[in-house]
Every structure is written in C-alpha cells, then in structure tokens.
Structure 1
Amino acid sequence: MEPPAAKPNFFSNVLVKVLLFGVLIIIVRFAYIVTITGESCNLGDFCFLPESFNLVIAGTGSGVSTANRAVVSTSAGPTQRDLYTSKDWIKAVHFYSDVFRDLVSDGYLSAISKTMCVETPKGEDVFALKEIGILDSIGIYKKASKPLVISLKESGLPFDENTFDFIFSGGDRLDKTSRRPLDLTVSDIQRTLKPEGFFVAHVSSKDTYSFNSFLDLFNSCKLIKSRDIEGYDSSMPFIREIVLQKKVGSEILSKNYDGKLGNTCSVPGYKRDLVRNAEALITEEPLKPWITLKRNIHNIKYLPAMADISFKSRYVYVDVGARSYGSSIGSWFKKQYPKQNRTFDVYAIEADKAFYEEYRVKKGIKLLPYAAWVRNETLRFEINHDPGKEAKVKERGMGRIQLVKSASSSGSFSGEVNEIEGFDFAEWLKSTVTEKDFVVMKMDVEGTEFDLIPRLFETGAICLIDEIFLECHYNRWQRCCPGQRSSKYEKTYGQCLDLFTSLRDRGVLVHQWW
C-alpha cells in the first residue's frame, strides 16, 4: 500500500507552475515595453502604470519615447477608451511632450511645478505633462474627463488665488473654442497663477494686431518670449507659442491697468500698420458722391479682413447718427461687415425722436436718444424736410438734423426746431469701452464731426476706437440741381480730405463714408 504523500507534492507542483507563469508574464511585459516600444521602465514597479490606469496600446511613429503610450481610466466608458487609443490623441501627446520638454529646458517648468491646462476637452496636454514627470497636473473643461480633466464650475476655476506655477492653453483653444467669455477665462488665469509663474499659450494667429491684442488682455503679466513652431495637424500647421510671466505686486502697481485712458494717448504702432494697408483715399471730389459710395464700398479694406480680432474682451459697434435701423445697422453692419463670427453689442445714438419707437422692438441694440456732442448740455436742432414734400415723419431723410446756428435762423427754413439733450460723447465712450474691446464706429453727425473728432483726440478716447466709418459733410454738388452746391454746410471737400488725412497720419483706421 502506497503512502499518502503524493497529494502534497501535487499542490507543490501546481504552485511552482503558477509562480513560473507569473514570472513569465512579467518578463514578457518587460521585454515588450523595453524592446518593442523602445521605452524606459519609469512608470512604477516593473513598468506597471499607477493603479488608476491601464496600459492599452503602444504608440507608433518616431515621437518622444515617454509619450509612446496611450492610457485610459479604469472607470472610463467605451467612448473614452476609443479617444485615448486613437492615433490623433497619441500624436497630440507626442507633440505636447516635445513642447513641455523644451519649456523645462528653458526653466519655465520643473518636476515640482503645480500645473493646469485650461480648455482641454481631451487632456492630451495633461497626460503629456505627467509622462515627462510633472505629476501634479490637472486639466479643466466644461465637461469632465476623469482622471485627467475636471469640470469647470459656473463661478469659474475652482482654485484659490496664486495656486499654480504653470498654466497652459494649447490647440488655439483660448480664443477659438473657449466655451466662456474670453475676459472671464483670462481673469481666472491671472488670478490662479502665482507671482512669477508662467502662462504659455498656443495660438494660430500670427499678425501683429492679434498678438498685441493678446498681450493687452494679460495686464498683470509680462512677455518673456514668443516663437513660431510647427504644429502637429492640418488645423494648426504653424503655431505661435507665447510665454508670459506674472508680475509681482510692485510691477503691477507701477502702471494703471484699469483699462481707462487719461486725457492723451498715442495710437500704437501695430494699428498704424493697418492704416498703411488700407484703401487709398479719394482725393478728387466726386460729382455724384452717392454713386461713389456704392462703388467705393467694394474697395474698403475692413480691419477684420486684415487681422484676427479674436483676442478681444468684447465687440462693440457704435452708430453715431444712426437714424432708422435700416439706414446702416440693418442694411450694412449686420449684413456686410466681416465680424469673424463674433457677437457685437450695438449702440445706436440718434437725436431724432421720429426713430425712437422703431428701436424699442429691436433686440440686442441699445438706443441712446441724445445728440453726440462735446459736452453735456441742451441743444436746439433744426429738422428739415425734403423740398416740395409735406413734413411727414416717414419722409425724413439722411442728414435732415443740424444744430441751430442762431436764434434768428429759425425763420429762414421750412422746418421745425426741437430741443434735445446733448452728451459728451468722448467721455461716454471712455466709460463704456476699454482698450481690451474691439470698437467699430460709424459717424454721420451733420457737420459736427469737426467738433467731435478733435474732442476724441483731446480726451484720448480716439485710442479706444479700432475702426471708423466717417461721413464728412461739405458743400457737395446737389442731386436735385446739377451744377449747384448745397449751402447747408460751409466746409469744402478739401477740408474733409484734410480731416481724413490727419486721422490716418495719426494712426487711426478711418474710411470715407457718404
């Protein structure tokens, strides 16, 4: 009879085989990562990823070594798994790994940096930071994509002031795809960035106007460097990388950053560059100015057609002398002005009461029922009507309101005299918009442009306006009576031309309007 000793030997053999199998798995995994993918074993013991991740696939191509993996949260659903294993996602990780390594070499990043990536729906940049050893990194977006990206709160970034050493915005997201108003995002970035911390942004815009507009947004930061780099996909073949550093308290206090102007200003050089590229002024007086306008409007080089206006806090159109909605707001600005898909706040400044009712039903337009003037005071206006027609409200034409020149003049015309409140237009502009806003103005003020334009320069408000469409009033040839000039205005075409020329010489992008 055999002794019952074989049973323990059987269990011992099974245990040995299991252990050998486990060792074989570890060896195969090690060989796969190190030999096949060319990776260094630097992610946990025996090349196992942290507990919250699973290794899914190896990257392809000749990218940076530590970016040759794609990972997925163990709690992620099928959609996230597809995302994190896609070639585009892996390609982006490769790209950002290269970018961040360069920033580490330049001293803007380190292994102990606390970092945040803003407006990052997929989290490729966050993962790239972790891959190169900057583990204290998080992304933020409207919708969470854990564990890389957390959700953005309605109140803003859920972090205290001076939290991060480094903040990054990639993929042109800051200006092109942000779900929040740009000024709120910028405010959060500057608030949560530590003094002397770095903010790096990738943008596709390369013109000087957009670049300086970007710098104007970050008033608590200073420019460290800017360079052009090659992108990683067709949507951004070339990228401008901008590096900013948050100033310390004394540097910020050394300049007024409230966005308001003093009584003088100088139009910056990058705006002057736009003036040099504008259409030529019409130097010879047109015999039929109403026809010249229709022809010339096709030659106008609008600012948004010459530069990117993305980096602005707000977009504002001011129609000074708006008349009816269809006169210029509805017929021209809404339909023809190139807005680059931006929503504009529209202000209609109109002294004629005949048009007030119409604006009450227009959404998105704020009516200022006053006369634009150089100070706050009550004004008396002549309201003229077309010769030979009854004085009906609907027949009031463009340019039928002008300042009363003297008390005795009221009997020299077949019209009426009204009183209306005038307001200091330049001071209103300074209290309404800032240098961070994009401001377009159309001015048709029946000759008072010769008062208002100097006032804009005197107060410094001219620097707040990016583009002006100005109708200059002079003793033009009359449509009704060939060979006769209008006696309504004293100025000549030469004086109007001087006004346009002086504006452009001082760096203001102004277009002739009729």
Structure 2
Amino acid sequence: MEPPAGKPGSLRNLLIRFLLIGVFLIVVRFAYVISIAGESCNIGDFCFFSLPETLSIVIASAGPLAVESASSGGGLSREELYTSKDWINGVRFYSSVFQELIAGGYLSPNSKSLCVETPTGRDVFALREIGVRDAVGISRKAAKPLVKVGRGERIPSPDGAFDFVFSGEGSFEKSAKPAEFAAEIARTLKPGGFAVFHFVSPRDTYSFNSFLDLFHCFSVVKLHGLEGFDSSMPYIREIVLKKECGDGKLHVDDSNGKCFVPGYKHDLVKIAEPLIEEEPLKPWITLKRNLKNITYLSSMVDMSFKNRYVYVDVGARSYGSSIGSWFRKQYPKQNKTFHVYAIEADKTFHKDYALKKGISLVPYAAWVKNETLTFEIHRDPGEQVEVKGRGMGRIRPVQSSGKGEFDGEVEKIQGFDFADWLKKTVTMNDFVVMKMDVEGTEFDLIPRLFKTGAICLIDEIFLECHYNRWQRCCPGRRSSKYEKTYDQCLGLFNSLRQSGVLVHQWW
C-alpha cells in the first residue's frame, strides 16, 4: 500500500501561512511607522527591515528633494502635501531666502535653527535641503519629524538654545500676544544669534518701531523687500535682527527721568488737525464742533504690535461724562480691548464705577506729588450742573491755601504723583490714550510729565485747557474761575506738539 500523499501538502500550507503572517506583520509595522509614529524605525524597534531615512521626490527642473518621513497634516496625505504646487513653490522660495542669509553671514550650516509657527514645515525642509541639518519647526499641530508641537508665545526649548530663529508667512503679525512672542524668541536665541521675520501686510513707521520696541538689546542688521511665492504673499518685508546682549532685557539708566520722543512721532503730529489759533467767542460750541476735525492716532497707524491698550481718564467724573459716552462708543480701537483707568477724586462719582467691567477706579486727585489737597466745588454764574449735586472742582495744596481763597464748597482729598503712577502702570510697549480735564491743574501736571519722562509713555492726549474764557450766561464777561489766558493754553498745546506729542484740543 502506498503512503498517503497529504503530508507534504500540509507542510507546504503551513509554510505559506507563516509567510503570509510575516508579510502581514511587516505591512502593519510599516503602516504604523509611517502613519502614526511619523518616523523611520529606530534600532531596537520591532522591525523586519529599516525604513529609509528619506523619501526622494523629483521635482521638475529643481533636482531631487529629499523629503523625510512625516505624518500627514491638514487632511492631505504625505504624498499629496509634498507634491503640491504650494509645497514646491514654498520650498524653492525658502531655499533661496536661506541661501541669501548664508551669503550674508546671518546663517551657517552649523546653526542650530528654529522655524516658529510653521504648520507645513516647508521652511524647515528648505533649511535641511541646503545643508542646515540641525533645524526644527514648531506649530500648534505637529508634522513629525519636521515640526513638533509648540507656539511662538511658549517655545518648548531652553534659554539660548538656537543660533537662528525664523518667523515666516506673517506668523508674528498674526500673533495675539506679540510681546510674549518676542520675549520667547529673545529667551531662546543665543547672544550674537539672528532672528529673521517675514511680514506680509504693509506696515507704517509707527508699527515698525512698535515691533522693534519689543526686542530690547536687538539691532536691525538688514531690512528689505522680497517678492512672495503665491497670491496670499505677493510682497514680503524681511527684517533681520541680531541679539546684542546676554539676557534679552533692556538695561537703561533712568535716574534723570528724561526721554526722547522719536522722529516718527513728530511726523504724525505734522498730519494732525491744526490747532485753533484764534480764541473762540463761544468755546463751548467751537470746541465741540472741532470733534469732527480730529485726526485720531488709531486711524493713522497700525497698533497691532503693542502689548496692552490703555485709556487713562484724568478727571473722569461720572462714567457717562466721557468714558461711556465718547471713548467706548466713538474712539477707533481697531478691535482691540482697552483697559480703562478712571482717575477721579470726587466721591460723588465713585459709585458709577462699582460694577463696570474693564475699568479701574483711582479714587484720588492727579497731582505732582503725594500730599493732602483742598478740593473746591465752584460754579460760574449760570453754570448748568450735568451731574446732580456737584460742580467742577479745583485742587490746591493745603499749606498754600488760606480760608479766604475759596468761594465755594471745600473739602480735603488725597493727591498722588500722577507721573510716577503712570511710569509704574504702563510701559513703552503699551498703547496709551489719555484724556485730561483737571480744572487748570494741567499747567502743573504737563511740566511734571516732561520732567520725569512719563510724557514718552503717552501716545495720544485729549486735553481740555482751562482759561478765563467768555461765559455762556453773561455776554462780555470772562470766567473768574481761572487765571490763565487762551494764549497760554495755546502755548501749552504748541509745546506738546513741538515735542512730538500728539495732543488734541478738547472741551
């Protein structure tokens, strides 16, 4: 009897099954590495073979580009992303940009480099393609191995980690927190390192200098324009900064308190509305009508690079006097949220601010130093009081005022050094708008702002100057409430504008 012929077939089937299982495991591992891990196998991983470190894609007339294994992003497969027209054009553009930077000495093949807020990583890839191998990007969504998770406002790297930092595609100007973005670049860049920025939108001189103010102890080493590579970026402004000091912080001797108003602010004053040179016979009408002629600073410049937005109302009175009725309704804010400081010593108005959001009440009188003052409630003949029970008040130091000097109601209040408070409350990186209605005290406060250098912290002033003007009630009679003349007020406005401070006549 012949032996059964089934055994060799069974062995062959068993071998085929083992082979199929092995192929299945290889396919599963390959899919995991490419789609999930986003990188090639490391030594010691469960791999049947090592994946190549790069995948080559040939781009017509551009030579081979080595594209490293990366996970897909934005809904596109890796192959679709790396063969798209946008990717190819972007890589070509950034390769050209970085080669120019190498030629200029701002970048080298040995530079440890970071690309900030780069969702596709094409700038990172361009760096690696031209020989800068130690390059990585950060974005809110990772695209390994080119891009890892991070944000411009919180870079996941230690201090002084990089020789070169690049912010492309207008990523810096899109940031909602430019001051934090700038601080992180300054922190992670080595002394002597370079930071390069590409701006997409046209920028004015004010915004450009606001941008530079964010980078203390950095110097501008290159500034020029580039043609972009797609319709969203037809023109690019490239700025190259060099870090000059070790900690990225500004060290200034502020002992004399002086400041210098830069030339670009003087230029803004030149295009402001003209001052009213001739004394108006009906100032309560003329000054109110002049509102339509005012050229607001925020309508002339882009203020996006400022850290905070602040409105300081000195002599605020009630909420509806100017904060609620004018500033919050009419002042052009460029969709920015302003924090309001209401400075008002009269207790009658304090309850108005108790439940108002975004407003800090300073319940004292703005003055030239910290001291007790006398507060006089005095009305001109026929003056209509807008807020029940109170008129407008003048302040004087207690020691310099005698009992017979006041005609109206008098009480004691606490004054504070306004210039000193301002220097502690805002910085050069803030956008600061101020309205001042202080019943004649402007002739004390403005010189104090100049003397201490606090005037340089203010971007725009709306100033009501008080003088012995013609009275509404009594034709031919001037107010006995104030001693200054209109010419003295005009001199105060002119001195501010000549110093580069944008001031408007207010009522």
Provide TM-score, normalisation by structure 2: 0.81
The aligned counterpart of 1:371 is 365
Name the CA shift for 1:375/1:345 in 2 (closer, same or farther; >3 Å).
same
The aligned counterpart of 2:187 is 191
Q: Is 1:407 the counterpart of 2:405 in the alignment?
A: no
The one of 285, 289, 293 equivalent to 1:299 is 293
Q: CA deviation at 1:291?
A: 2.6
The aligned counterpart of 1:148 is 146
The aligned counterpart of 1:202 is 198
8 Å CA contact retained: 1:210, 1:309 = yes
- In structure 2, C-alpha distance between the alignment counterparts of 1:57 and 1:125, rounded to whole Å: 18
- In structure 1, C-alpha distance between the alignment counterparts of 2:67 and 2:473, rounded to whole Å: 76
The aligned counterpart of 1:245 is 242
8 Å CA contact retained: 1:219, 1:257 = no
- In structure 1, C-alpha distance between the alignment counterparts of 2:64 and 2:494, rounded to whole Å: 57
8 Å CA contact retained: 2:57, 2:64 = no
3-state SS of paired residue (1:239): strand
Name the CA shift for 1:303/1:236 in 2 (closer, same or farther; >3 Å).
farther
8 Å CA contact retained: 1:54, 1:73 = no
| Identical-pair percentage | 62
8 Å CA contact retained: 1:53, 1:73 = no
- In structure 2, C-alpha distance between the alignment counterparts of 1:219 and 1:315, rounded to whole Å: 20
For these two proteins, the number of residue pairs brought into alignment is: 452
8 Å CA contact retained: 2:195, 2:240 = yes
Q: Is 1:161 the counterpart of 2:154 in the alignment?
A: no
1:374-393 equivalences under 5 Å are 374-384=368-378
The aligned counterpart of 1:424 is 417
The one of 446, 461, 467 equivalent to 2:454 is 461
8 Å CA contact retained: 1:386, 1:395 = no
3-state SS of paired residue (2:293): coil
Q: CA RMSD in A?
A: 3.0
1:132-281 equivalences under 5 Å are 132-152=130-150, 156-175=154-173, 177-179=174-176, 181-203=177-199, 204-249=201-246, 256-257=251-252, 262-281=256-275
Name the CA shift for 1:84/1:417 in 2 (closer, same or farther; >3 Å).
farther
Q: CA deviation at 1:288?
A: 2.5
Q: CA deviation at 1:91?
A: 3.1
The aligned counterpart of 2:431 is 438
Q: Is 1:335 the counterpart of 2:329 in the alignment?
A: yes
What 5-or-longer segments of structure 1 have no aligned partner?
1-49
Which letter maps to 2:402? A
Deviation per residue, 1:153-201 (Å, 9 max, x gap): 79821111111110011222213x215x222211111111111110011
Q: Is 1:324 the counterpart of 2:325 in the alignment?
A: no
Q: CA deviation at 1:395?
A: 5.2
8 Å CA contact retained: 1:93, 1:124 = yes
Name the CA shift for 1:392/1:437 in 2 (closer, same or farther; >3 Å).
closer
Q: CA deviation at 1:219?
A: 0.9
Which letter maps to 2:75? P
Q: Is 1:113 the counterpart of 2:107 in the alignment?
A: no
8 Å CA contact retained: 1:57, 1:70 = no
8 Å CA contact retained: 1:469, 1:511 = yes
- In structure 1, C-alpha distance between the alignment counterparts of 2:470 and 2:443, rounded to whole Å: 20
3-state SS of paired residue (2:242): strand
3-state SS of paired residue (1:310): coil
The aligned counterpart of 2:124 is 126
Name the CA shift for 1:236/1:379 in 2 (closer, same or farther; >3 Å).
farther
Name the CA shift for 1:161/1:291 in 2 (closer, same or farther; >3 Å).
same
- In structure 2, C-alpha distance between the alignment counterparts of 1:462 and 1:468, rounded to whole Å: 10
- In structure 1, C-alpha distance between the alignment counterparts of 2:214 and 2:64, rounded to whole Å: 33
Name the CA shift for 1:339/1:222 in 2 (closer, same or farther; >3 Å).
same
Which letter maps to 1:209? Y
- In structure 1, C-alpha distance between the alignment counterparts of 2:187 and 2:436, rounded to whole Å: 39
Which letter maps to 2:362? L
Name the CA shift for 1:391/1:468 in 2 (closer, same or farther; >3 Å).
closer
- In structure 2, C-alpha distance between the alignment counterparts of 1:390 and 1:479, rounded to whole Å: 10
Deviation per residue, 1:463-506 (Å, 9 max, x gap): 11111111111112222333322211111111100100011111
3-state SS of paired residue (1:162): coil
